[in-house]
Each structure stands twice: as C-alpha cells, then as structure tokens.
Amino acid sequence: MLRSTVSKSSDSEVDLLDDRDFVQLIDADGIRHPSPTIDQWVADVSDAQLADLYEDMVVVRRIDVEATALQRQGELGLWPPLLGQEASQIGSARALRDDDFIMPSYRENGVAYCRGVALDDLVRVWRGHAHGSWDPSEFRMAIPAVIIGAQTLHAVGYGVGILRDGADSAVITYFGDGATSQGDTNEAMIFAATYQAPVVFFCQNNHWAISEPVGLQATRHISERAPGFGIPSMRVDGNDVLAVMAATRIALDRAHNGGGPTYIEAVTYRMGPHTTSDDPTRYRDADELAEWKAKDPISRLEKYFESKDLLTDELKARVKAKADSVAAEFRAGCIGMEEPTIMSVFDHVTIEIDPVLERQRSQYAAYLANFEGGE
C-alpha cells in the first residue's frame, strides 16, 4: 500500500524544491486529485470533517500570529512560529489515536493544541516561566525538546516499551529537515528498524534550519534515506491537510499492527522566521516566500470549499468566532500568568533530597531575608 519514493538514481541533480514527487490530494488551487491508492485512507473524511480541519488550521494560525504579536509587545521572550506548517501539524495530529504518544520538537504548538493542552501552557516556556508546561502522561505528548533530534530516540524507547507492554498504540515523533543531519535522528532510525518499534518518523521539511537551506542538509530527497535504514518511506505534500492525514494514517496503521516504523517527509514551508529573534530577509528571497504563499495550506482548502460551494457565510462566521475567542483566551492566559516563586528555582532537580542543594537553598533564603520584603 505504501508508495515507495521515486528513484532518482539516474538523475544527478535533484531539485529539492521540486514538489512533484509526493502524495497530493488537494493541490494549491484547491483541486482534488483522486488517488487510487491513497483515497481509501481518507474515504471517511466528510466535507464537515474537512471543515473541522480547516477550523483547526485557522485557529492555530491565529494562535501563532497572536504569539508573535505578544513577543513584539514584550509579553514573550521568544516564539517559534509554525506559520505555513498548519496542514502538516493538524493533518498528522488529527490522525492519531488518543493512546498514541507524541514526541515533539519545540515547534509543534499546532499538535499540542489538537491534544488539548491549555492555551497558556503553549506559551509558559516562551514567557520564560518554565522549561516545560504540561504533564506528558496527561496529554500523551512529551514537552518540547529543544536539542535538535533528541526526541527521536525517546520515541524509539517509548515504542519499544509499547511492544513490551503488548499494547498496540504507536509513537509519532516530529522533527525538521535540520534534525535529519543529527546523529540522534539517524541512530533512532537504526534502533527503530532493529527493534521494529511502532514509531512514525514525521519530518516537517520546512526548507529552512534557521538560515540554512535544506540543500545543506540533504542533496537528495530526505525521504529517500529511510529505505536504506529498512524503514518504508513516504513523501507527502505537507501543505495538503488531507494528504498528510492519509499518510499519517497509513504509517499509524502499520505501527498499530506490528508493522514497525514508517517515515514521512512532509514537504512544507516555514513562512515565518525560525523564531521571533530571527531575520529571514538576510538569507532568503522574497520570491521564494511568494512562491510558497501561493501553496498556502489554508487558502487552498478555502479554494476547495469554494469550488464545492461549501465556504458558506455560516462556516466563515463559525471559524472566525472560534479563532477570536481562542485568541482572546490565549492572550489573557499569557498576560495573566502567575510568576513562578523565587525559591522554586531549587525545585525538582532530583526526587531524593540532595543535602548540598538544600544547603544552597537555605543559604539563598537567608540572603533574601536580608532584604526588606525578601522571601
């Protein structure tokens, strides 16, 4: 059932920005292309469900834009925008079963939204209040991993644990094109293949690792690597929410049924900066951005709905109301967030009491007590 990656062995120059060799169900103009092999995986997705995915993407983009604004207003120290990657995140996250576990990088705020993470917990890290916001066991989603690619190995370990438990759930791990150069990511593929761990490797190829174009990480399609590790691979239009959902379902189906790991390269584009501290005008052309704007994941779905007379005033009003209310709650949650207490800097280093650290805690408390109003 898997589409194998297109062989390019006779072709010495592979254009990595070429978007031909991938699974696509809805193109940039909103035209639905039937696929005899892929359609069955999303046959149950009604137009109403597609409208829900559309709503998710609009809401997540609104959160993302709001977060960037909050950073500009001094309310956040930093924010890693996912602008342009909504279809990759929503399409994959909405394909997951509730008991599937997620090992994300730090940009998967759209995925976290789908998992029901509280809105203020999406920015607690970026406001500088904590290094991690939520309890992974509650949301079946680990907290963001900032070290590039480290989480891919955690996914394999978790997956091996699933096998040992005799469970049939899966793990999906998110990472970018930059992470594919990391040793950890490659080791994770080796270990996953060795133990046939139920892991979905979900690479969002957003074409940029800060200032480095994907061509610096890979001279061939990233998806071509996985088969060499013994892992079936797919390349999918990452701006096509339906195709992403189909690909993720295929990979999950394999994982849930003892089929081992699968690799997905979702070809998408980071329309914003790497983070709010970054300035992409220093390293990429405006033309490239314009080219990808034309392939926007949200506007293509609007075109699809328009072509079917489904983009009704009612739908538009519903989605706008949801985005407005989420944005307001998100902003209020961010600004109203309670500051961490001073002495909590010493908390949760170890579980067993460390007398050396307790001495430092006690001494710092004494130091603070020297000041009027100190703790």
Describe the crossing of helices 86-93 and 241-256 by its angle, rounded to 10 degrees: 40
Which of the stretches 147-155, 216-224, 232-240, 254-262 binds other proteins when contact is defined by CB under 8 A? 147-155
The residue within the footprint of other proteins, chosen from 86, 100, 121, 184 (CB under 8 A), is 184
Please list the active-site residues.
Answer: 270, 274, 283
> Does 156 sit near other proteins (CB under 8 A)?
yes
> Does 339 sit near other proteins (CB under 8 A)?
no
Which of the stretches 37-45, 72-80, 289-297, 349-357 binds other proteins when contact is defined by CB under 8 A? 349-357
> Does 191 sit near other proteins (CB under 8 A)?
yes
20, two tokens? 């031909």
Q: How far is the CB of 157 from other proteins (least distance, A)?
A: 2
Under rule CB under 8 A, which residues in 114-133 are in contact with other proteins?
Answer: 130-132
> Does 16 sit near other proteins (CB under 8 A)?
no
Answer yes or no: are the C-beta atoms of 85 and 206 closer than 8 Å. Answer: yes
Q: Identify the three-state secondary structure at position 101.
A: strand
The set of residues, in sequence order, having a beta carbon less than 8 Å from that of 1 and lying 6+ positions away, is 37, 250
Question: What's the gap between Cα 242 and its chain centre?
Answer: 16
Q: How far is the CB of 163 from other proteins (least distance, A)?
A: 8
Q: How far is the CB of 159 from other proteins (least distance, A)?
A: 7
Q: Which is nearer to other proteins, 286 or 351 (CB)?
A: 351
> Does 343 sit near other proteins (CB under 8 A)?
no
CA-to-CA distance for 61 and 81, rounded, in angstroms? 9
> Does 154 sit near other proteins (CB under 8 A)?
yes
> Does 183 sit near other proteins (CB under 8 A)?
yes
Which of the stretches 41-49, 109-117, 134-142, 230-238 binds other proteins when contact is defined by CB under 8 A? 134-142
Identify any residues that bridge with 233 across adjacent strands, giving them in sequence order: 263
Task: Please write down the long-range contacts of 78-81, taking CB distance under 8 Å and 24 or more positions apart.
Answer: 78/126, 78/275, 78/276, 78/277, 79/123, 79/126, 79/275, 79/276, 80/106, 80/107, 80/109, 80/126, 80/274, 80/275, 80/276, 81/270, 81/271, 81/272, 81/273, 81/275, 81/276
Q: How far is the CB of 160 from other proteins (least distance, A)?
A: 6
CA-to-CA distance for 56 and 45, rounded, in angstroms? 15
Q: Which of 235, 274, 294 is nearest to 4 (CA)?
A: 235
- Residue 35, CA atoms < 13 Å, CB-side half-sphere: 23
Which of the stretches 86-94, 263-271, 311-319, 342-350 binds other proteins when contact is defined by CB under 8 A? 342-350
The set of residues, in sequence order, having a beta carbon less than 8 Å from that of 2 and lying 6+ positions away, is 232, 233, 234, 250, 262
Identify any residues that bridge with 78 across adjacent strands, giving them in sequence order: none
CA-to-CA distance for 101 and 111, rounded, in angstroms? 12
Which of the stretches 24-32, 63-71, 150-158, 230-238 binds other proteins when contact is defined by CB under 8 A? 150-158
The residue within the footprint of other proteins, chosen from 49, 181, 194, 299 (CB under 8 A), is 194
The residue within the footprint of other proteins, chosen from 157, 213, 259, 333 (CB under 8 A), is 157
Q: Which is nearer to other proteins, 20 or 348 (CB)?
A: 348
Q: Which is nearer to other proteins, 188 or 319 (CB)?
A: 188
Identify any residues that bridge with 198 across adjacent strands, giving them in sequence order: none
> Does 342 sit near other proteins (CB under 8 A)?
no
Under rule CB under 8 A, which residues in 78-107 are in contact with other proteins?
Answer: 103
Q: Which of 204, 199, 171 is nearest to 187 (CA)?
A: 199
Q: Which is nearer to other proteins, 309 or 352 (CB)?
A: 352
DSSP strand pairing (208-209 vs 212-213): antiparallel
* Interface size with other proteins, residues (CB under 8 A): 46
- Judged by the rule CB under 8 A, the positions of this chain that interact with other proteins are 103, 130-132, 134-137, 142-143, 145, 147, 150, 152-165, 171, 183-184, 187-188, 190-191, 194-195, 347-352, 354-357
